[in-house]
Amino acid sequence: MFRYRSQLALWLLAGSMVFAHDSMARSVKRPRSFAAPASGRVFVGVDVLEEQDFLPLRGKRVGLITNQTGVDSDGRRTIDVLARAPGVKLVALFSPEHGLAGKSQDATIANSTDQATALPIYSLYGNTRRPTSEMLQGIDLLLFDMQDAGVRFYTYLTTMAYSMEAAASHHIPFVVLDRPNPLGGEVIEGPLLDPGRTSFTAYFPLPLRYGMTIGELAKMLNTENHIEADLQILRMRNWRRSEVYDQTGLAWISPSPNLRTFQENLLYPGVEILQAAGVSVGRGTDTPFEILGAPWIEADAFASELNRRSIPGVHLESTSFTPSDGPYQAERCGGVRIRITDRDSFRSIRMGLEIADALYRMYPQQFQLQKAVALLGSQSTIDRLIKGDAPADIIASWSADLDKFRKTREKYLLYP
């Protein structure tokens, strides 16, 4: 049992400890010692699991899907916590893209062994991206504990969904230790994925920013995509939908090598969609997603055009850089540095569309706008940009689809 360091008065929790069992809540043991966090600190799913003395896992042989973001409020790996948990037998680990330590940028990752526990690590970004029957042998329960980025094309989402499918087909319960959506739980942004475009970076027809926690998303996918896993969500305490990551009191742990700061996560959805079309998004620099450019961009003219557009909540400054990775590796690039000036009004996808439109107007031979559909996921959006429609008008055209999504999403929300 771990103890919270805060010495403030005990936070009175009404009723029993509750966790979500698919679409139902099930009462379990009354909490003992949640303290009122001075800075509004959130207690994530693994904290709640520890507080419950691991009741949901007692007597189970557990397979854990995790990486470096799977830690409790004291910074201890969920792996190590479970390895010492009374009545729990941790038997295998599963890692996503970037590996268990979150440092790999290789195209595939091999199976390995965790040095601290001597447990096997099965890569879900290697020869297979789904747990196989062999990997699941001897496992009674699959547990998922990873911080995602809150964006449709982030692959941890698909890793979770594929693992839920494997659990359902093998009749193995699946438990998600919930964590905050780093972008918050209110803003929904971007077009829905086109029919027929599902892939490892597009598991389900979601908008680019869906405003759900990984646990809420698991509930929705389980029902709406007919996975039908025996699913439980261990809910967080003290998280509200209005909170983005730096308001939670939780330490930032880079979920992948190029999301080194929360600021970069905020910029990521709108900037990342541009790389496939022919620009560097700052990979191989100290500030990925905070800069973008290409050798053929004239920095001052480009920055001037973007600022003329008065993109809400952001200012663009001309810059130059030489990336050591990604497109234009070792080439001098002209471009812009992105500075968020008002987080409340800033919308990353709006910014991304404005940048794409400016690049296509200024550099139609070099900027391959059509290729942006790979992550944007909406051909009609690309067609309208090519036609010359204003980004603000294109965004307005998404409203009906997003309203339908909100109605579906509402059924699966767990937090106020």
Is the pLDDT at 20 greater than 80? The verdict is no
**CA 6 distance to own-chain centroid:** 29
Q: What is the pLDDT of residue 40?
A: 64
**CA 308 distance to own-chain centroid:** 32
Q: Which two tokens stand for residue 191?
A: 């077009």
Q: Which two tokens stand for residue 214?
A: 């990984």
Q: What is the CATH number of the domain that holds 355?
A: 3.90.1150.140
Residues 250 and 273 in one domain: no
Residues 247 and 277 in one domain: no
> Is 2 contained in some domain?
no
DSSP 254: -
Domain end, chosen from 205, 221, 254, is at 254
Is the pLDDT at 380 greater than 70? The verdict is yes
Average pLDDT of every residue of the chain: 92
> Is 248 contained in some domain?
yes
> Is 399 contained in some domain?
no
Please give the tally of structural domains in the chain. 2
| pLDDT band with cut points at 50, 70 and 90 for residue 1 | very low
Residues 212 and 314 in one domain: no
Residues 300 and 192 in one domain: no
Residues 289 and 316 in one domain: yes
| pLDDT band with cut points at 50, 70 and 90 for residue 4 | very low
| pLDDT band with cut points at 50, 70 and 90 for residue 41 | confident
Length of the chain measured in residues: 416
Among residues 45, 39, 67, the alpha carbon closest in space to that of 254 is found at 67
**Kind plus residue range of the DSSP H or E element containing 350:** helix 348-362
Residues 38 and 148 in one domain: yes
> Is 389 contained in some domain?
no
> Is 225 contained in some domain?
yes
Residues 226 and 282 in one domain: no
Domain end, chosen from 254, 288, 316, is at 254
Read off the pLDDT of residues 269-313 as tens digits, 9 standing for 90 and up: 999 999 999 999 999 999 999 999 999 999 999 999 999 999 999
Apex CA 258: angle with CA 348 and CA 256, to 5°?
A: 105
Residues 268 and 323 in one domain: yes
Q: Hey, which bits of 203-305 come out as E strands?
A: 231-234, 291-294
Residues 145 and 166 in one domain: yes
| Parallel/antiparallel/unpaired status of strands 174-177 and 141-145 | parallel
Residues 201 and 54 in one domain: yes
> Is 335 contained in some domain?
yes
Residues 342 and 274 in one domain: yes
Is the pLDDT at 243 greater than 70? The verdict is yes
Q: What is the CATH number of the domain that holds 73?
A: 3.40.50.12170
Is the pLDDT at 23 greater than 70? The verdict is no
> Is 243 contained in some domain?
yes
Q: Which two tokens stand for residue 115?
A: 């040095």
CA distance 127 to 111: 9
Is the pLDDT at 18 greater than 80? The verdict is no
Residues 348 and 225 in one domain: no
CA distance 351 to 370: 18
pTM for this entry: 0.91
Evaluated on CA atoms 266, 271, 275, 277, the torsion sign reads positive
Domain end, chosen from 228, 254, 280, is at 254
Domain that holds residue 332: 262-377
Read off the pLDDT of residues 63-122 as tens digits, 9 standing for 90 and up: 999 999 999 999 999 999 999 999 999 999 999 999 999 999 989 999 999 999 999 999
Residue 112, Cβ neighbours under 10 Å: how many? 15
> Is 411 contained in some domain?
no
